[in-house]
Amino acid sequence: MRIRNVQFWKTQFRAGRRKPYQVRWAVDGSPFYESYVTSALAENFRNDLIAAARRGETFDPEVGGLPQSMWPKPKAVTWYEFARKYALMKWAHSAGNSRRNSASGLIRITLLLLSSDVRKEDAPRLRHALRHWAFRRVDDAAVPPEQAELLEWIAERSRPITDLEDLGTLRELLNELGLCLNGTPAKASTVARHRAVLTSTLNYAVEQGVLKYNPVDKLAWKPPTLSRQVDPRVVVSPQQARELLKAVTYVGTWEKQRGPRLRAFFACIYFAALRPEEVVALREQDCKLPEHGPGLLVLSTAITRAGGAWTDDGNKHETRGLKLRAVDDGRDVPIPPELVRILRQHIADFGTAADGRLFPGPHGQALDSTRYLDTWEKARRLALPPELAGSRLARRPYDLRHAALSLWLNSGVAPAEVARRAGNTVPVLLQTYARCIHGQEDTNTKRIIDALGDPEEQEEPDEDEEG
């Protein structure tokens, strides 16, 4: 930007004016004025202009003819303002559940980064406004007036995102994220998820030039230890699994056939190690079910329950590709004859939805997780004695998948093949099920000894001496 031609005049006194002392100057012939109550204030301002001109500063007619040192400072970007921008950026390429989990973290952080304390009775209303209107892709004009007022209150009190460059402020925030709303320690998984949202948002701020660096990288803060290993106490034996599947058939409602309709659903999780969302999307045309022998499931999609607020079409269920795979990248899962028979009987008894899905809801819609979770809890109480029903054993339907993969690994199936069938990577598989692989110590020890060999056993005996 070039240095412009600047001219100055003496300060004028204009009698009868509220601010009688006027400073006049011109930039490239364009006049500018500024008036003051006292002569001292006027002269101070005029001297600052002259000093800026002597330093060679640029005077811009578009900014009131002021020199660069007097230009208005850009308003600091607040955490709330940037968090909304981040949420919209992530929306298009995120699954519904990812959007919801990200919003949960952004809400928690936003309320912790306010310049004013939030009254306990106001917190639920603020969280509601943020969850429904701040971090979703919605038209601002559609926000109800009361909710808009709450969001405006938050926007006015949100601290600048640059405040997080202060490591003391950042540490305090992370410590708060480690607590539940009632002040008790939060689950390690929740802390890890919220910290990941914070880190990702700050990385985006660096990318956009709002921050020079991510301050999280400079902070020696240790999050709670997060164990990703499956607890062996949740793993059922084959006999227990079959007893649970039988107990499922005794659960009523849904035209008194909810349990029988869902027996095959849970059997797919156990015998094929499918994820529940993969079973929800399973269609008859995906199944190869011969009359005798093993069969095959060809998986390509999963149906998850995200909630209508977080999907593109407003439906609470969302059809996605398989986890950890590219879109349209399928997975073949061989299944034992027992599951083949169960699926053939299920199709014969209950048919399929119009699109071939084996496990539709009561009205043909996607099966809701609330239905099969309720059925599973009732089946556990029927199948297990009180001491086990109150334990961690098979507490969730997903634990059937853990039991299946543990069984496969313990039976000697190569980890690479187990990982392929399960839709995992080998490192993740071995890390996750490290505590569930047992009973092979003697076999593995013998394999190692055989591979090494024993020099003493290989020595030939000395020949007997003659005589």
pLDDT digits (tens, 9 = 90+) for 288-325: 999 999 999 999 999 999 899 999 888 999 999 888 77
Q: How many CA atoms lie within 13 A of 42 on its CB side?
A: 21
Whose structure tokens read 């320690």? 185
pLDDT tens-place string over residues 31-86: 999 999 999 999 999 999 999 999 989 899 888 999 988 888 777 899 999 999 99
Q: How does strand 317-321 pair with strand 66-67? A: unpaired
Tokens of 24: 């006049």
Diameter over CA atoms, the chain: 144
Q: Helices in 8-93 by DSSP H: which ranges?
A: 39-54, 79-91
Percent of the chain predicted with pLDDT > 70: 93
CATH topology of domain 234-410: hpI Integrase; Chain A (1.10.443)
The CATH 1.10.443.10 portion of the chain extends over 234-410
Asked if residues 372 and 265 have their Cβ atoms less than 8 Å apart, the reply is yes
Ranking 173-182, 326-335, 354-363, 373-382 by mean pLDDT, the lowest is: 326-335
Summary mean pLDDT of the chain: 89
Phi, psi of 347, deg, nearest 5: -65, -40
Residue 450 pLDDT class (50, 70, 90 cuts): confident
Whose structure tokens read 């914070």? 198
Which amino acid does the sequence have at 170?
L
pLDDT tens-place string over residues 102-140: 999 999 999 999 988 888 888 999 999 999 999 999 888
Cβ-based neighbours of 164, under 8 Å, separated by 6 or more: 79, 113, 170, 173, 202, 211, 215
User: How far is the C-alpha of 367 from the C-alpha of 282, rounded, in Å?
Assistant: 11
> What's the pLDDT at 250?
92
Inter-CA distances, 333 with 90, 112, 235, 336, Å = 33, 46, 21, 10
Cβ-based neighbours of 267, under 8 Å, separated by 6 or more: 245, 339, 342, 343
Cβ-based neighbours of 210, under 8 Å, separated by 6 or more: 77, 82, 161, 162
Burial 152-179 (b: 16+ CB within 10 A, else e): ebbeeebbbbbbbbeeeebeebbebbbe
pTM across the whole model: 0.75
Cα–Cα nearest to 228, from 394, 427, 460: 427
Cα–Cα nearest to 267, from 370, 400, 154, 177: 400
Tokens of 465: 């001496």
Asked if residues 399 and 235 have their Cβ atoms less than 8 Å apart, the reply is yes
Asked if residues 322 and 299 have their Cβ atoms less than 8 Å apart, the reply is yes
